[in-house]
Structure 1
Amino acid sequence: MASTSAHPFPAKSAAIAPIEVDTAPQIRRSFAASRSDEIGDAGNATSVAHGAPELVASGYGSMTTEEAPVVEERPKRTWFRYIKTRDFWIVLVLGQILALCITSTNTFSALLAGKGTSIPAFQTLFNYILLNLVYTSITIYRYGLKGWMQLLYKDGWKYFILSFLDVEGNYFFVLGYRYTTILSAQLINFWAIVVVVAISLIFLKVRYHLTQYLGILVCCAGMGILLASDHITGSNGGEAANQLKGDLFILLGATFYGLSNCFEEFLVSKRHMYEVVGQIGFWGTIIIGVQAAIFDRGSFQTAVWDGQVGGYLVGYTLILSLFYSLAPLVFRLASAAFFNISLLTGNFWGVVIGTEVFGLSVHWMYPIAFVLIILGLFVYFMSETVLGEAKKPWLGVNQEAGVAGIGTAKRRVERPDAIV
């Protein structure tokens, strides 16, 4: 997952999803012509074939898999159509909640460092353990133990790669902050957006509209104002211990983030969210556990352990787990690109929180930058059709290769009255 640093604390991101209840099999429902008209009136030019749709399961255990209704959306674009829908406002708010989550975890990291406890790998281990306990348990309950074992045998390698990218993105980003300045790290973090757009274009066959590129540029301009403010006020993190080394670590971490975001968007569009998040937790626990045992032994021995440190670790773990649980919803409702540019507001929220926790002051340029980034998010979706980016090109014209889960285009056509 791509991440954006929340000034003035190190940035970190991660990737995950709320418990998703996909009842399978569902009672068959026919879509009459009036339903198609109703969807069209809501601003969506879609055609729904008559038939008997059912929810699509992942195919493990005793769950059934059938095709969802044929759904086609005319390519004609109407300005501001998607912005008028409920889905847009949901994904906009979700993006800001995720930015606040990142800011909060960075705040807890800063508080831990202030107490003399800097153990990045071990600190993140508890997040993966919690995700594994919650979502793997749900997966085993839904698929059965045999179905879960089949999942590991058949697709475990995919989730291992996803978890590895996610873990290393977190690790190298935090490691980079030990050697470079905050300002430099924030600039390099833009590389994650470049990676996401490039991977989406080349491998996921996403074709961005001109307004989407414009929206990304507007958001980046807002971020540029934040960075300029940091430079003017001298809030760039001071002298770098090893500028080149730190910048290379940040660049590597941003690359891992971009790759993991695109891979997760691909997987959650085809599989249940509890399966994807559970596998991230399962493999992530193993990977980060080994890493912590190798690289954090010295820091662990010299760390301060008291009630405050325990409270900070609990807060960090709970908020980061919430982040991982909500991120897949944004990947389904929107995309990895929108996910990354939404996190750009994290620097603004970081200063807002920092005024209360660390006594920072808000520079007059910060509110302007925040408004500009939010405006860029509106521009990004200015010409989108009513389904926005929920309709994924790699799932087929009718999304036949996707799962009818929370936030997917297939689910919203089957159940237009659903919240997401």
Structure 2
Amino acid sequence: MLSFKEFCTTKTLVALGLGQFLSLLITSTGLSSSELARRGINAPTSQSFLNYVFLAIVYGSIMLYRKEALKAKWYYYAILSLVDVEANFLVVKAYQYTSITSVMLLDCWSIPCVMVLTWFFLSTKYRFKKIAGVVVCVAGLVMVVFSDVHAGDRSGGSNPRKGDALVIAGATLYAISNVSEEFLVKNADRVELMSLLGFFGAIISAIQIDNNRSILECNEVKSIHWSVGAALPFFGFAVAMFLFYSLVPILLKVWM
């Protein structure tokens, strides 16, 4: 058992503070997506596009200033970006069908997925307490899905089962993305990761928007009806996502 003094190190306090702020940012993205869905704006790919543009501009400028060679192959970032774009699409799309509560809870499915992937690919070891915590988490997620399937009313969304399936699929892709980011942060460079993730993510998002077609959605651009009330959550989502993407690699660095 750690003493209180051993626990309250600068590293631990910084990690806890970052973790809480990241949780706040995720909550902000959920509220923004839920508000856009309530207003009838159905544009999951468009919402994420601006975030990738911000990443490409900010971190791409730093990379150009450094003039350094890439530390990882460019196609690693292209594959990661594809996974990340579709993960964002699936989770944001889910707000059209289910409640914000279900989305936020089911998004935790990424936790057991991350544990399995890090154990298999990064040789991370987990103790019994952590495994037991994940089992409890998964049990709770099953109860959420069961509740949505057998809900008597549909006040939480037009199709809760479809929404839950989208969140679980998106959370699985998030896990792949997060583990890949951890690997690249450890073996490449944080700025390089953010820059190329933004660059390829913006291209992939733009292609999907330009074709009016994503994995499960067509004609999303035509569904956007702009107003002041809609613009605020739209840009708020992009800013919150930009900050989240920027801070996650820092948190990973802290715990190395």
What TM-score range do you get, normalising by the shorter chain? Answer: 0.7 to 0.9
> How far apart, in 2, do the equivalents of 1:106 and 1:190 lie?
13
Which deviates further from its counterpart, 193-202 or 286-295?
286-295
SS of the aligned residue for 2:220 comes to helix
Aligned to 1:126: 50
Q: Does residue 1:173 correspond to 2:91, yes or no?
A: yes
CA contact (8 A) 1:184 1:247 kept: yes
Aligned to 1:288: 205
Aligned to 1:116: 40
Change (3 A) 1:121 1:260: same
CA contact (8 A) 1:159 1:283 kept: yes
Q: Does residue 1:104 correspond to 2:104, yes or no?
A: no
Aligned to 1:161: 79
Q: CA offset at residue 115 of structure 1?
A: 3.5
1:16-51 CA-to-partner distances (Å, cap 9, x unmatched) read xxxxxxxxxxxxxxxxxxxxxxxxxxxxxxxxxxxx
* Alignment length (residue pairs): 246
More helix by share: 2
> How far apart, in 1, do the equivalents of 2:61 and 2:128 lie?
43
CA contact (8 A) 2:19 2:251 kept: yes
Q: Does residue 1:199 correspond to 2:128, yes or no?
A: no
Q: CA offset at residue 254 of structure 1?
A: 1.3
Q: CA offset at residue 205 of structure 1?
A: 0.5
Q: CA offset at residue 324 of structure 1?
A: 0.7
> How far apart, in 1, do the equivalents of 2:236 and 2:74 lie?
30
Query: Which protein has greater RCO, CA pairs closer than 8 Å, 6+ apart?
Result: 2
Change (3 A) 1:235 1:325: farther
> How far apart, in 1, do the equivalents of 2:153 and 2:105 lie?
14
Aligned to 1:210: 128
SS of the aligned residue for 2:252 comes to helix
CA contact (8 A) 1:166 1:257 kept: yes
- Percent identical residues: 34
Question: TM-score scaled to structure 2, two decimals?
Answer: 0.82
Question: TM-score scaled to structure 1, two decimals?
Answer: 0.52
After TM superposition, the structure 1 = structure 2 runs for residues 12-411 of structure 1, keeping only pairs within 5 Å, are 79-80=2-3, 83-143=7-67, 147=69, 151=70, 155-182=73-100, 184-186=102-104, 188-214=106-132, 216=134, 220=137, 238=156, 240-241=158-159, 243=161, 245-294=162-211, 295=213, 298-334=219-255, 390=256
Q: Which amino acid aligns with 2:209?
A: A
* Two-structure CA RMSD over aligned residues (Å): 3.2
> How far apart, in 2, do the equivalents of 1:313 and 1:323 lie?
16
Change (3 A) 1:285 1:182: same
> How far apart, in 2, do the equivalents of 1:236 and 1:79 lie?
47
> How far apart, in 1, do the equivalents of 2:91 and 2:218 lie?
19
Change (3 A) 1:306 1:246: closer
Change (3 A) 1:306 1:182: closer
Listed as ranges, the gaps of 5+ residues in structure 1 are 1-77, 335-389, 391-420
CA contact (8 A) 1:115 1:304 kept: no
CA contact (8 A) 2:30 2:100 kept: no
